[in-house]
């Protein structure tokens, strides 16, 4: 939110905006998880909304992948109608797995992505637990329902009591869950190490 100019800082937003930062930095953690659970990967892709993910963050992801001996290709999408074609391009280009980066566009259109990666047999890691529960391979991130219940409701109460948005700090989630969908893993022909499953907060059988 700071980088996009919506607020001047998380602690003191100023203006008429406050809210939640969904920590786009977690995209790198998800990439690490993907490479950990599938160590034979040598080519992976990231699906990114350029309005949400800046070039320097994408470069950092590519450098982190390169340090692991992996090539990361970035596929940028800013319109929902382009999603299927881009995912087809990911597969046809020989990418072995996909990291769906953080962003509202990608979350709101997750069903399009879920259907296409399933049809193409493309292992994919997601930004929120609900996406693995809906059929995604693996997800790591905060529970959006918990954020609405605990954080948005608290901020709304402050607003209703007359506190200005500029005086309500932008909050960040503090609890993250790792969810593994074994049904999807089996459909992809993948075996997940037991040591990895033992760390998961939820395993969908």
Total Cβ atoms within 10 A of residue 116: 20
Q: Over the Cα atoms of the chain, what is R_g?
A: 18
Q: What is the mean pLDDT of residues 166-189?
A: 85
CATH superfamily of 26-141+175-204: Response regulator (3.40.50.2300)
Q: How many residues belong to the chain?
A: 205
- pLDDT tier at 103 (50, 70, 90 boundaries)? confident
Backbone angles phi, psi at 9, to 5 degrees: -160, 165
Backbone angles phi, psi at 111, to 5 degrees: -65, -35
Q: What is the mean pLDDT of residues 27-44?
A: 96
Q: What is the mean pLDDT of residues 175-194?
A: 96
Q: Which range (57-66, 110-119, 124-133, 144-153) has the least confidence?
A: 144-153
Buried b (16+ CB within 10 A) or exposed e, 39-48: eebeebbbbb
Span 89-99, pLDDT tens digits? 999 999 999 99
Q: What is the mean pLDDT of residues 164-193?
A: 85
Dihedral sign from CA coordinates of 27, 30, 36, 38:
negative
Q: Could you say which DSSP state residue 10 is in?
A: S
Q: Which range (14-23, 39-48, 54-63, 139-148) has the least confidence?
A: 14-23
Residue 97's closest CA among 87, 108, 105, 109?
87
Instruction: Give the Cα separation of 60 and 40 in Å (integer).
Output: 21
Q: What is the mean pLDDT of residues 45-65?
A: 94
- Does 104 score more than 60 pLDDT? yes
Q: Could you tell me where the beta strands, DSSP code E, fall in the chain?
A: 43-48, 71-76, 98-100, 124-126, 138-141, 177-181, 202-204
**Helix, coil or strand: residue 43:** strand
Q: Tell me the pTM.
A: 0.81
Residue 7 vs residue 114, higher pLDDT:
114
- Does 173 score more than 80 pLDDT? no
Instruction: Give the Cα separation of 200 and 36 in Å (integer).
Output: 13
- Does 64 score more than 60 pLDDT? yes
Mean pLDDT over each residue of the chain, to the nearest integer: 86
- Does 68 score more than 80 pLDDT? yes
Q: For the chain, give every domain's residue range.
A: 26-141+175-204
Instruction: Give the Cα separation of 163 and 158 in Å (integer).
Output: 5
């Amino acid at each position: 939110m700071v980088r996009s100019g919506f607020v001047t800082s998380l602690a003191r937003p100023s203006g008429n905006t406050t809210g939640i930062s969904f920590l786009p930095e977690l995209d790198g953690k998800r990439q690490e998880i993907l490479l950990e659970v599938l160590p034979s990967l040598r080519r992976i892709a990231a699906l990114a909304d350029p309005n949400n993910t800046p070039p320097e963050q994408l470069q950092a992801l590519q450098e982190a992948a390169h340090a692991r001996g992996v090539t990361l290709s970035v596929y940028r999408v800013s319109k929902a109608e382009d999603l299927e074609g881009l995912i087809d391009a990911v597969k046809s280009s020989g990418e072995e797995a996909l990291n769906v980066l953080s962003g509202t566009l990608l979350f709101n259109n997750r069903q399009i992505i879920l259907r296409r990666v399933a049809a193409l047999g493309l292992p994919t890691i997601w930004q929120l637990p609900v996406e693995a529960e809906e059929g995604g391979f693996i997800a790591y991130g905060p529970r959006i329902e918990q954020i609405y219940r605990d954080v948005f409701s608290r901020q709304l109460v402050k607003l209703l009591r007359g506190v200005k948005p500029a005086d309500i700090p932008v909050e960040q989630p503090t609890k993250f869950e790792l969810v593994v969908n074994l049904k999807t893993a089996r459909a992809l022909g993948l075996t997940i190490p037991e040591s990895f499953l033992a760390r998961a907060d939820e395993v969908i059988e």
